[in-house]
């Protein structure tokens, strides 16, 4: 007798061992048809999995996140099946699930083209329509190695050979194609209906640049036709908003091969940077932070104490001078502790909040660089709060409230909150972890935030809150964080004198709101499609004259507004006014001020807001007041 407990708590008894598919069929034909996989005692398995003892079971369908992952994983194998069918000489390697889809790496004698992708996708559809069963078998490792070597699949054989000799490996077959895989997979290829191949790119075998360059085909797969269409529409919109494209068109920045992963900011882009930085500097000032500045280059001995030299050295830029080794800082924390250690600190000084716009460098792989979103040189709105355990709660609650206001000012109102808790490998007592995790969760509850808990995803030294933004087209960007860290102050001997006159180690809270300024500005560009609100726009007002007769008056308007602190430029070229309006509208300038003879005679300006809105003629003073109000309230015009 086997007893199955379902997610709703109901139980079903079966006289003998039973498969996941059998259980689904016993519940109903609709569920049997929709079943993609099962979750037995928390482990995702095939529908053919045999349950021979009492167990908890959830039937997974396309409506479940795990079910969608099985679809994507199976579609990656369908891709490999189609490639091998069309190009028998191609060798298969690996094909994992990624966000919103999958990829598969191939070794082939020539580059795949976009025409090839169309042919491969068509063949995938044909193979899916055959509704071939997907079956699993298990082989001893050495037998599996011999099998794939016999087929000329040297990459697969190499992967299997790296598995311990005493382990068996599982293979999945669909039609004429068999692949190494842990699974699980959909029961048959007919379950795979809504997919699209997206692009092809290069990828080194096993991620090592010393190895052969493979070809990586990316695809996306969804549960329904509507979901796929919605995703493709989102991608189309994202392409229009691509910050790299807009960065060029709006003359904000560029990336150059002379400095891979580092940004060249143009005057307009640097104006945006300054607007963000100065805003955040005021946030520091108004919320009890003292701004500091640490050095870029720090001695090896410091990085040895923090643990970075041993564990992170390959990601650090290092140099040597006078027989001493140094590294460009990949983070600001150690420098802030060295500042904290200068002079005796008392419990009365805590919480002590340091903030820095600290430039950091990390030796990211070239293949991972992406515009200004992922770079090697970046600046953080980095802050560190030195406090006691009892102060963690209040500091985290105040930080969340502050972060919400900042994000709102930048136009983001949808925030996802996640608390990452203790991992298995950690330092510190259970009591200290209990206290820190409770403080983080209670601080979110106090701020009225619903949150999820990511068990075991905290750092080895402490838990953290991650704050993720949701943008205008539904994408998620993890930006803000606050982390509890008793470890680094311990490693670097930071102390304060308590009310008992004894020496104590402070808790260090690592916190950032926008995170990397480069990445955050990239997010802002994509969120607004380059139409930055007036308070952030690199040029807030463009003054245009109709004829040369108004040139002097136009320049006076520019100077008057510039003297009031606005970012204003003029276009006094001898061009038609319609041409100038169109050109600067494409540059997404918030306000165009048009000056003709009537405006000059009355000391007024004709104002057009972004989007072609004609605001009519108004005095310069009235326009200045309107612009001031827009900037002050962070208007999204």
Residues 105 and 83: their CA atoms lie apart, in Å, by 11
Task: Report the domain count for the chain.
Answer: 4
Separation between Cα atoms, residue 491 and residue 488, nearest integer Å: 5
Contact 464, 483 (CB under 8 A): yes
> Is residue 384 annotated as a catalytic residue, yes or no?
yes
464 counts as catalytic: yes
What are 395's two structure tokens? Answer: 């500091």
Q: What pLDDT, on the 0 to 100 scale, is given for residue 475?
A: 87
Tell me how far apart the alpha carbons of residues 32 and 146 are, in angstroms, rounded to a whole number: 37
Q: In 10 A of CB 299, how many CB atoms?
A: 11
Check whether 479 is labelled as a binding-site residue: no
Query: Is 194 assigned a ligand-binding role in the annotation?
Result: no
Q: Cβ–Cβ contacts within 10 Å for residue 632, how many? A: 9
Query: Quick one: pLDDT at residue 636?
Result: 62
Q: Which CATH number goes with the domain that contains 117?
A: 3.30.980.10
Do 361 and 333 share a structural domain?
yes
**Residue 172: both structure tokens together:** 């999945």
Is 39 a catalytic site residue?
Answer: no
Residues 511 and 545 in one domain: no
- Residues 458 and 593 reside in one and the same domain: no
Whether residue 85 sits in one domain with residue 51: no
- The enclosing domain of 19 has a CATH number of 3.10.20.30
Q: Identify the CA nearest to 581 among candidates 598, 596, 602, 601.
A: 596
What angle is formed at CA 343 by the lines to CA 340 and CA 344, rounded to 5 degrees?
A: 95
Catalytic residue, chosen from 194, 362, 376, 580, is 362
The pairing of strands 451-454 and 415-420 is parallel
Structural domain includes residue 241: no
Given the residues 422, 510, 584, 610, the one annotated as active site = 510
CATH label of the domain that carries residue 598: 3.40.50.800
> For residue 240, is it within any domain?
no
Token pair listed for 472: 């205008």
| 207, 121: one domain | yes
Shared domain check, 33 and 140: no
- Among 72, 384, 511, 610, the active-site one is 384
For 205-233, letters b (16+ CB in 10 Å) and e give bbeeeeeeebbbbbbbbbbeeeebeebee
Q: Range of 119's domain? A: 66-232
Q: What is the DSSP letter of 87?
A: -
Residue stretches of the chain with pLDDT short of 70: 635-637
Note whether residue 317 is domain-resident: no
The whole-number pLDDT of residue 273 equals 97
**Does residue 492 form part of some domain?**
yes
Quick one: 287 and 200 in the same domain?
no
Q: Which CATH number do you get for residue 292? A: 3.30.930.10
Q: What is the pLDDT of residue 425?
A: 84
Q: Which of 478, 493, 528 is the last residue of a domain?
A: 528
Nearest to 84 by CA among 156, 36, 139: 156
* 384 labelled ligand-binding: yes
381 is catalytic: no
Q: Which residues contact 468 (CB under 8 A, 6 or more apart)?
A: 415, 416, 417, 418, 476, 477, 478, 479
Question: Residue 635: what pLDDT?
Answer: 67
- On whether residue 353 sits in a domain, the answer given is yes
* 472, 549: one domain: no
Q: Is 251 a catalytic residue?
A: no
Asked whether residue 419 is assigned to any structural domain, the reply reads yes
3-state secondary structure 7-48: CCCCEEEECCCEEHHHHHHHHCHHHHHHCCEEEECCEEECCC
Is 387 one of the catalytic residues? no
Is 362 designated active site? yes
Does residue 158 sit in the same domain as residue 266? no
> 220 and 268: one domain?
no
Q: CA angle 617-621-623, nearest 5°?
A: 50
Contact status, residue 362 vs residue 330, Cβ threshold 8 Å? yes
Catalytic residue selected from 105, 194, 333, 519:
333
**Is the omega angle on the peptide bond into residue 368 within 30 degrees of 0, that is, cis?**
no
Alpha-carbon torsion 449, 452, 456, 457, what sign? negative
Same domain (yes/no): 470, 570: no
Coil vs helix vs strand at 441: helix
Q: Which residue has the tokens 């079943």?
A: 35
Residue 49 lies in a domain: yes
pTM of the model: 0.83
Query: Which of the following is catalytic: 381, 382, 471, 630?
Result: 382
Same domain assignment for residues 224 and 337: no
Instruction: Establish if 303 belongs to a structural domain.
Output: no
| pLDDT score at 115 | 94
């Amino acid at each position: 007798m086997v007893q199955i407990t379902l997610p709703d708590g109901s139980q079903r008894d079966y006289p003998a061992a039973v498969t996941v598919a059998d259980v689904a069929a016993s519940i109903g034909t609709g569920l049997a048809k929709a079943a993609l996989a099962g979750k037995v005692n928390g482990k995702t398995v095939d529908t053919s999995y045999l349950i021979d003892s009492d167990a908890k079971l959830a039937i997974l369908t396309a409506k479940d996140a795990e079910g969608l992952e099985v679809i994507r994983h199976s579609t990656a194998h369908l891709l490999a099946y189609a490639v091998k069918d069309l190009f028998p000489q191609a060798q298969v390697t690996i094909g994992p699930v990624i966000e919103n889809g999958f990829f598969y790496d191939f070794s082939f004698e020539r580059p795949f083209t976009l025409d090839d992708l169309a042919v491969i996708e068509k063949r995938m559809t044909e193979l899916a329509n055959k509704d071939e069963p997907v079956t699993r078998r298990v082989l001893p490792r050495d037998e599996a190695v011999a099998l794939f070597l016999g087929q000329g699949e040297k990459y697969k054989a190499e992967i299997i050979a790296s598995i311990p000799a005493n382990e068996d490996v599982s293979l999945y077959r669909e039609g004429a194609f068999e692949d190494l895989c842990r699974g699980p997979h959909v029961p048959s290829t007919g379950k795979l209906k809504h997919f699209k191949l997206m692009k092809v790119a290069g990828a080194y075998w096993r991620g090592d640049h010393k190895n052969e360059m493979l070809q990586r085909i990316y695809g996306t797969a969804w549960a329904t036709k509507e979901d796929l269409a919605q995703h493709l529409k989102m991608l189309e919109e994202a392409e229009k908003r691509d910050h790299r494209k807009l960065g060029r068109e709006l003359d904000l920045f560029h990336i150059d091969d002379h400095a891979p992963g580092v940004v060249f900011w143009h005057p307009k882009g640097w104006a945006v940077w300054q607007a963000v930085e100065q805003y955040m500097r005021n946030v520091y000032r108004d919320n009890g932070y003292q701004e500091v500045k640490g050095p870029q280059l720090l001695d090896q001995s410091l990085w040895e104490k923090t643990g970075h030299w041993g564990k992170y050295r390959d990601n650090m830029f290092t140099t040597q001078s006078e027989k001493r080794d140094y590294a460009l800082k990949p983070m600001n924390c150690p420098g802030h502790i060295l500042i904290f250690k200068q002079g005796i600190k008392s419990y009365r000084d805590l919480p002590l909040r340091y903030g820095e716009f600290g430039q950091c460098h990390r030796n990211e792989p070239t293949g991972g660089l992406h515009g200004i979103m992922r770079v090697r040189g970046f600046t953080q709105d980095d802050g560190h709060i030195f406090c006691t355990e009892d102060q963690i709660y209040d500091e985290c609650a105040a930080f969340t409230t502050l972060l919400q206001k900042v994000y709102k000012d930048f136009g983001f109102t949808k925030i996802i909150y996640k608390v990452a808790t203790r991992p298995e490998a950690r330092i510190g007592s259970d009591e200290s972890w209990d206290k820190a995790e409770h403080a983080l969760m209670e601080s979110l509850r106090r701020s009225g935030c619903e949150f999820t808990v990511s068990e075991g995803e905290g750092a080895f030294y402490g838990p953290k809150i991650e704050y993720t933004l949701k943008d205008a087209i539904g994408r998620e960007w993890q930006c803000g964080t606050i982390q509890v860290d008793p470890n680094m102050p311990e490693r670097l001997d930071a102390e304060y004198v308590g009310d008992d006159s004894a020496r104590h180690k402070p808790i260090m809270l690592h916190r950032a709101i926008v995170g990397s300024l480069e990445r955050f500005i990239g997010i802002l560009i994509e969120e607004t499609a380059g139409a930055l609100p007036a308070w952030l726009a690199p040029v807030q007002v463009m003054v245009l004259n109709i004829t040369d007769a108004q040139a002097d008056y136009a320049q006076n308007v520019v100077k008057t507004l510039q003297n009031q602190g606005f970012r204003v430029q003029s276009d006094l070229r001898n061009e038609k006014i319609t041409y100038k309006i169109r050109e600067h509208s494409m540059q997404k300038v918030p306000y165009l001020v048009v000056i003709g003879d009537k405006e000059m005679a009355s000391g007024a300006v004709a104002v057009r807001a972004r989007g072609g809105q004609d605001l009519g003629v108004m005095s310069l003073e009235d326009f200045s007041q309107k612009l001031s109000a827009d900037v002050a309230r962070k208007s999204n015009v």
